A and B are shown apart, each in its own frame.
Chain A
Amino acid sequence: QKEVEQDPGPLSVPEGAIVSLNCTYSNSAFQYFMWYRQYSRKGPELLMYTYSSGNKEDGRFTAQVDKSSKYISLFIRDSQPSDSATYLCAMNSGGSNYKLTFGKGTLLTVNP
């Protein structure tokens, strides 16, 4: 079983839709959870950063972490064509190790 599982998609939605992106993980030591957005031929851009379980909202984006289920989600409200990108979940267990374990990424297309 891979440490982090993420459905690669592709996911295609109409403009204005609510998008739900998800990752599951197996390592219960993970405590720090991130979502990155990567446009084609660009480096990943940090969208959301969460510690432990709970919700975090930033504009149209909401990140949820459920450590009991080992499940994290990213919701995008009122999706825009500019949201079309690959979304990567990433996580870290803490301590002196800053390495991230990534999901494979979900390719999202928002159609005008």
Chain B
Amino acid sequence: GAVVSQHPSWVICKSGTSVKIECRSLDFQATTMFWYRQFPKQSLMLMATSNEGSKATYEQGVEKDKFLINHASLTLSTLTVTSAHPEDSSFYICSATSGVIRTQYFGPGTRLLVL
């Protein structure tokens, strides 16, 4: 139980294009979803928290117009990196919580490379 999927697992795009990453909770309803990014050999950095049907709450320093988050249903959240640039290249990981126990279940991650 408590499986979270992400799609795509790998994406390469040209600078200036937008990229959408999907995060799905497969066997539970996710009241809250989180988006992280992780640089090599560094810990997870929380970008934003989203609740179904509400606007996402972004962490300090994260550009909300650049990283658009939509949490349209209790099983799906999307992160769109708009006008991606090489410095946006990173490992993006989502997580979800069911609210039943106080922990987060993580997706497998999406590796983004912007050329």
Contacts and interface: CB of A to CB of B under 8 A. Distances in A.
Interface of A: 32, 34, 36, 41-46, 49, 51, 88, 90, 92, 94, 98-100, 102-105
Nearest to A95: B102
B91 to A, nearest CB: 7
B97 interface: yes
B46 A46 contact: no
A85 to B, nearest CB: 13
A43 B103 contact: no
B46 A94 contact: no
Given A34-B103, A49-B101, A98 B32 contact: yes
Contacts of A92: 102-103
Contact of B93 (A43, A94, A99, A103): A43
Nearest to B2: A46
Given A42-B108, A44-B106, A98 B97 contact: yes
Contacts of A88: 43-44
Interface residues of B, number: 25
Contacts of A102: 43-44
Given A43-B109, A98-B49, A98-B97, 15 more contacts: A32-B102, A34-B103, A42-B109, A43-B6, A43-B108, A44-B93, A46-B105, A46-B106, A49-B103, A88-B43, A88-B44, A92-B103, A98-B104, A100-B103, A102-B43
Contacts of A42: 108-109
A43 B101 CA distance: 19
A38 B6 CA distance: 16
B49 A99 contact: yes
Nearest to B33: A98
Interface in B27-51: 32, 34, 42-44, 46, 49
A45 B91 contact: no
A44 B46 CA distance: 14
B102 A41 contact: no
Contacts of A104: 42-43
A100 to B, nearest CB: 6
A100 B34 CA distance: 10
Nearest to B96: A98
